[in-house]
Amino acid sequence: MSGLMLVNAIVCTLLAMRLLFFRRKGARWRPRAALLAYFIIVAAASVPIGLLLGSGSDTTTLPQLVLNTVLCVAVFAVDGNVSELFRRNGDKEGIIARTLRWHSWF
């Protein structure tokens, strides 16, 4: 096991745990944002679980680690609210944020 694999597993664990323990604090439930968070949790948690079980990838590249670290830092910066990741500054929202917030899809 390389050092990159271990650091990547730690970063992915932090990412999954932050999303898993997200609290809405009275905000409205957004199904698509919850689904996106679910997929990120599953993908991030698969890295350390695969490493522990020995069935994971044998290599981790530096670009993978950088992307996972940037995503982890971004999720912590918005307190685990994935819909905030796609919000633009000011009054207008980006198309991804509008799509995640549009409640009439479900």
- Give how many domains the chain has, as a whole number: 1
User: How do residues 25-69 score in pLDDT, each as one tens digit?
Assistant: 877 888 888 999 999 999 999 999 999 988 766 788 899 999 999
In whole angstroms, give the CA distance from residue 102 to residue 19: 21
Q: Which range of residues forms the domain containing residue 56? A: 3-105
Nearest CA-CA partner of 37 in 100, 104, 92: 100
User: How do residues 78-90 score in pLDDT, each as one tens digit?
Assistant: 888 888 887 666 5
